[in-house]
Amino acid sequence: MEQARPSTTRRRFLKGTALAAVPYALLPDTRAGAQSLAGDYPGAEWQPASTSNYTVSDRPASYAVNRVVIHVTQETYTDTLAIFKNPQKKVSAHYLVRSADGHVAQCVREANVAWHAGNWSYNTRSIGIEHEGWVDKPAWFTDALYEQSARLTAAICTKYGIAKDRAHIIGHYEVPGTDHTDPGPNWDWTRYIRLVNFA
């Protein structure tokens, strides 16, 4: 003879009792980590830089954010993430955009000061966006990279009230005191600013 199945109500009761027996210390705290895992830009993958590679701050309360600085990595996407995670490198950017598909990773919170421009004043008042590729290889500047980066820059400009123009969206080479040339002569500024304004 077949044994009778416990009723749905009894099954739910038993599951509830078992769950109640699990010590709260073993359950994840939904508050701890929720803030640290959520990025500032919807859809960006959180890939945190080493805390040795940026300065904790509370921007825009501590410093007004008034620029976006465009960079080119001179490295692959994967290698750039590894550099930002390496505490010996002393470099980071807020965002990294992948060439092939425009995928965006966030490495430093916008409230914090990323070490990307090589100029403390510019670091404190800007958001740094790195782009996978090389300044002398324009094939890395794909449609997807331009389009997704422009959406990101547009969102940053809207959030902080930054004008969507070349005076406020600048290349790394335009930062005073830098020896960098990125994003280089192959970066299409006309196209980029147009995409930012239409995003």
Show which residues are catalytic: 130
**Preceding peptide of 60 cis, ω within 30°:** yes
N-term to C-term CA, the chain: 69
Contact 113, 123 (CB under 8 A): yes
And the tokens for 39?
A: 């990025």
- CA-based nearest residue to 81, from 44, 135, 127: 44
Residue 131, helix vs strand vs coil: strand
Angle at 191 between CA 174 and CA 71, to 5 degrees: 35
If one counts every other C-beta atom within 10 angstroms of the C-beta of residue 71, the result is: 24
Contact 172, 70 (CB under 8 A): yes
In angstroms, the CA 19 to CA 27 distance is: 10
